[in-house]
Amino acid sequence: MKGIFLLSVSLFEGQLHEAQKVAQSSGGLGADLSHFIMFEYKLPSSLEPILSKSDNDVLSAEQLRISIEARDHLDSIIDKLKKEYPRSRESYGLNRSSLMRDILKQFILKRQDLEKREVHHSSFSFEADKISFLQSVLPFKERDRTIEHFILNSYAPSETEPPESHKPKNMSQIRIKMDVRAFEKLDNIVDQFKGKGLTRADVMRHVVDQLIKELSTTDNVKAFTEQKLDEAVRNFRKVHGADTLQEKLTEYMTDGNK
């Protein structure tokens, strides 16, 4: 992670308190909310839900600790929406505060739903390099929730790109914890493709393949590589000192210009 950013926003009164009550991550609201912004928030089909505010709504100035990656993603959403609605008078009210109010509305509802869920565990085998990729881009405690969210909200196999029955090479096994509804969806897909000899594990491997494609978009790869670079630079400085780090960075920059 690049670091933590202190975000000053105007939220609906009591909204921050509700979000703190339902946060699921051991890292507190900041870690959970950062993950939600990056991977779970769904943009509404219009600006209305984002800009919706009645005369009776009371706003409160608050500060949120989120990752710099989440802040950058937040700003990229605002830029995207302003380009989509360039002549809309409403878009003038589009800013970090209005977007965060909508993000927190979704966050609170989804985390409340998580509290009611029935959780099951199951072990699945994947190709080792795919597990390594997931480990490189997702914190361990967020991995299962990201897979669950993808299954329930995004995953939709088609006849043109169906799951296939196969055993992975160079296999590694991991245990995944998810809402029972996610497992039920996997089993329903097995039934949907009857005759192909699929198992739940085959479908889960297809899920992970599709998730990796989504996580491998240019923006995500850029964020993750920046995160790894930041970690490497900080660790190098701790071990070798700032002067040696400066020399090494200058060396890399010089080599890059050759």
In a domain, 231, yes or no: no
Both 91 and 164 in one domain: the answer is no
In a domain, 147, yes or no: yes
The DSSP 8-state label assigned to residue 93 in this structure reads G
Both 193 and 106 in one domain: the answer is no
pLDDT of residue 133: 87
Which residue blocks in 85-139 are alpha helix, DSSP H?
96-116, 128-137
The pLDDT tens digits of the residues spanning 11-44 come to 999 999 999 998 877 678 998 899 899 888 999 9
The CB-based long-range contact list for 135-139 (8 Å cut-off, 24+ gap) reads 136/224, 136/228, 137/215, 137/220, 137/224, 138/215, 139/31, 139/35
- Residues 6 or more apart in contact with residue 253 via CB below 8 angstroms: none
Both 192 and 147 in one domain: the answer is yes
Both 38 and 135 in one domain: the answer is no
Q: Could you identify the residue written with the tokens 């790109």?
A: 161
In a domain, 230, yes or no: no
In a domain, 253, yes or no: no
What does pTM read for this prediction? 0.58
Tell how many helices (H) and how many strands (E) occur in the chain. 11, 4
* C-alpha–C-alpha distance, residues 86 and 84, integer Å: 6
In a domain, 141, yes or no: yes
Both 46 and 124 in one domain: the answer is no
- The total of structural domains in the chain comes to 2
pLDDT of residue 221: 57
Both 60 and 82 in one domain: the answer is yes
Q: Which of 77, 93, 116 is the last residue of a domain?
A: 116
Q: Which of 99, 116, 133 is the last residue of a domain?
A: 116
pLDDT of residue 176: 94
**Residue numbers of the domain that contains 164:** 119-215
pLDDT of residue 88: 62
* C-alpha–C-alpha distance, residues 135 and 258, integer Å: 34
In a domain, 255, yes or no: no
Both 109 and 135 in one domain: the answer is no
pLDDT of residue 62: 96
In a domain, 32, yes or no: yes
Residue ranges, the chain, pLDDT below 50: 1
Q: Which of 54, 131, 46 is nearest to 94 (CA)?
A: 46
Q: Which of 28, 39, 182, 56 is nearest to 103 (CA)?
A: 39
Both 75 and 56 in one domain: the answer is yes
Both 101 and 124 in one domain: the answer is no
pLDDT of residue 160: 77
pLDDT of residue 219: 60
Both 130 and 194 in one domain: the answer is yes
In a domain, 204, yes or no: yes
Both 129 and 184 in one domain: the answer is yes
pLDDT of residue 91: 66
Q: Which of 87, 116, 145 is the last residue of a domain?
A: 116
Both 88 and 160 in one domain: the answer is no
